[in-house]
A and B are shown apart, each in its own frame.
Chain A
Amino acid sequence: MFETLFIGLSLTSVLLLIALGLSITYGAMGVINMAHGELVMIGAYTAVLSGIYLGFNIFAAIPLAFLTAALLGLLIERVVIRRLYGRIIDTLLATWGVAIILQQLIRLEFGMTFFGIRIQGLGPGLQQMRVPSYLMQPYEFAGIMIQPYRTFIIVVTILLTLLTWFLMYRTSIGVQIRAIMRNPQMAAACGIDVRRVSAMTFAYGSGLAGIAGVLLAGFRTVMPEMGANVVVDGFLVVVVGGVGSLLGTVLSAGLLGQINGIVSVLYNDIIARAVVFAVVIGIILWRPNGLFSFRSR
């Protein structure tokens, strides 16, 4: 029983990790960021490359991946998204284009393959990030087997959620962000620099995606296409939870993660996936704005 719940908890933490950044960018700015998965992928590659060239372990890679993904997010915001606020379908297409560009940059090793130069750690193949063995070796505690790596992911997810909550609800920039989420025009009229705050928010959400990438790299496969599946899961969580609601995101990740975990242990993973989608469809039929929604932008 504990094991089943642990699997569900672990699935929850992965979902939440991915959805956290997405719920901020989608919620605060109404941008359907299809490149979110690719920012996760960039985080994973940052971990792989910093491991190869700088000797960084996973703990050092986390802040580095946050910075890399946040800077990249800032760049995407400045170059593409800034020009498309309020045009939700256009942002969807544009960020999808960005996603393809990012994938190809990794596959083509930033274009170096055209010159016959190979960069270890990039290219179309599969990469690996080394995980310290004390994070891989499970140990027994009170008759229960503890998996350190999954526990580590859960802990990091909790910390990031708390940090995000603190930023959003206990700081002045958080007040500004929430004001923009409610009504950007009114927020601007009150003297909030909407563009600057939006850019910072987008960068923060992207940085969270980068951290998710590092953690996923430890137990999944690192490859240029890895972001594509991830972004679907992220949107499921955000849509079910309600756009812009941190509590909703946490609860919907928990709901979907546990359903997935329990069904996959009892039956199998394919049925679990189908059940999750059925639940999602049911919820958005019942509450089109998600479980915890206070408005529509």
Chain B
Amino acid sequence: MTQNRRSFLKTSVAFGATSAIAPGLWTRAARADEKIDVGVLFSLTGGLSIVERSLADATLMAIAEINEAGGVLGKMINPIVEDGASDTRTFNERATKLVVSDRVPTVFGCYTSASRKAVLPVFERRNNMLFYPTYYEGFECSKNVVYTGAVPNQQLSNYIPWIINTLGKKKFFIVGSNYIYPREMAKVSKILIEQNGGEWVADEYLELGHSEWGAMVSRIRSSGCDVVLSNVVGDSVIAFYREFRNQGLTHDVLPICATVTSEIEIAAMGPEAAAGSYTSFPYFQAIDTEANNAFIERYRSFVNDPTAVTQHAMECSYFQVYLWKQAVEAAGEATPDAIREGIKGQTFDAPNGRVTIDPENLHCYLTPRIARWGADGQGEIIDEYPEPIRPLPYVAYGEAEDDLFCTGAGLDSSRL
């Protein structure tokens, strides 16, 4: 299928290693001591493989680095790579296989919310752990998932006030792809817009993959808004920004402020279409620190592509393996329960800065940043929080830092 040679080799190495121990069952116990199996579950084929393959690569790179440095508790990490094939049912099957027959204590994986929802029952019923690296819409509180990507408050709570106060834009046109993530993002945005004295003039959705933006952009133009908040996902982002430019709208008068547009889409649309627009993410390739530059360089040599771009979910895929390693070391053993206890409060210096797992809701403290896209396709970071902020997965329903809905005891559903 569409596996490239590199990951094909990795898969076969992993497969070879697994089958090598199969013949001599009696040696299995002795050998199993020397390594810890973990699952790596992303789409390596199908439409989502464009992004998900890079997440799998980042995960495997972190595992390779840890193994080179001596492994975890003196044992090697052995990744068992499975292909979700951009299909939620396949994700469920593969997750079941990893948890039930491979008996891994942890799976790193899933990109879309749909795939996470599809595998969630597997992890909850079998009491296993999933490490999920994507920014997502929140509204989830599972003891069996560690969420290392941003939740809405980490992308929006600095962004909306900044747009209103620093950019001086008050009338928002909210546009997104028609599924749960953009809709939840819009919900949080509206709360923040009203709190900060702005207003929204429209809240519009288009189906995923929609590529004919003529009518929508013309509606934006005549709506009287002075800023566009875009939660548009995937390849339709490209058609959107291009149409925006074709209709003569410029980002210095009517900027697009996006929550999902990353380095990958910018490169594909041609940087001139995005120059001057903004995106809010905790991580950008353009973060100019030694740690990040080294990370980019290692990633490029790992995937053997000198122009590979890095982005937020990919960076999370990378550092969450290190957080997992620390959790295993803190707990002293690699079982799901021990990992869940061990991960609480773990801190790691990731390429984007310091990240910490919240002991209550198992989400991740991250530093919100805003970048302005330049003509070279890179973001220039023009605003960042002084420190990582607490993840609030239920912020759309009134959750606050001192008033958590999701705690170690579970979700307080009376609050919703």
Contact = CB atoms under 8 A, between A and B. Distances in A.
Nearest to B272: A133
Contacts of B6: 116
Interface stretch (A164-172, A196-204, A218-226): A218-226
B58 to A, nearest CB: 16
B2 A108 contact: yes
B207 interface: yes
Main secondary structure of the interface of B (DSSP, over half): helix
A265 B239 contact: no
B140 interface: no
Interface string A228-272: 010000000000000000000000000000000100110011101
Contacts of B236: 221
Interface in B94-145: none
B25 interface: no
B304 interface: yes
Contacts of A116: 4-6, 304
**Residue from A104, A126, A261 having most chain B Cβ neighbours under 10 A:** A126
A107 B5 contact: no
Contacts of B264: 125-126
Interface string A119-152: 0000011111011010011100000010101100
Contact of B270 (A11, A113, A128): A128
A270 to B, nearest CB: 6
A115 interface: yes
B178 A220 contact: no
Contact of B268 (A10, A14, A126, A264): A126
B164 interface: no
A219 B215 contact: no
Interface string B154-181: 0000000000000000000000001000
Given A220-B211, A265-B218, A124 B49 contact: yes
B5 A3 contact: no
Contacts of A11: 212, 214
B50 A124 contact: yes
A149 B272 CA distance: 16
Nearest to A118: B305
Interface residues of B, number: 42
A269 B214 CA distance: 10
A36 B204 CA distance: 32
Interface residues of A, number: 44
A208 interface: no
A131 B207 CA distance: 26
A169 to B, nearest CB: 32
A138 B6 CA distance: 45
Contact of A147 (B219, B235, B247): B247
Contacts of A126: 50, 235, 238, 264-265, 267-268
Interface in B220-247: 235-236, 238-239, 242-243, 245-247
Contact of A10 (B214, B242, B248, B305): B214
Contacts of B268: 125-128, 221-222
Contacts, number: 106
Interface string B375-390: 0000000000000000
**Residue from A124, A149, A150, A272 having most chain B Cβ neighbours under 10 A:** A124
Interface string B180-224: 000000000000000000000000111101111011101100000
B215 A150 contact: no
Nearest to A219: B242
A272 B408 CA distance: 47
A220 B269 CA distance: 9
B206 A270 contact: yes
A62 interface: no
Contact of A264 (B215, B235, B242, B267): B215
Given A7-B218, A126-B238, A270 B269 contact: no
Interface string A38-56: 0000000000000000000
Interface string B335-367: 000000000000000000000000000000000
Given A116-B304, A126-B268, A229-B211, A219 B243 contact: yes
A250 to B, nearest CB: 20
18 contacts: A3-B218, A7-B218, A10-B214, A115-B5, A124-B2, A124-B49, A126-B235, A126-B268, A128-B238, A128-B267, A128-B270, A138-B246, A147-B248, A219-B243, A222-B268, A265-B215, A269-B206, A270-B206
Interface of A: 3-4, 7, 10-11, 14, 104, 107-108, 113-116, 118, 124-128, 130-131, 133, 136-138, 145, 147, 149-150, 219-223, 225, 229, 261, 264-265, 268-270, 272-273
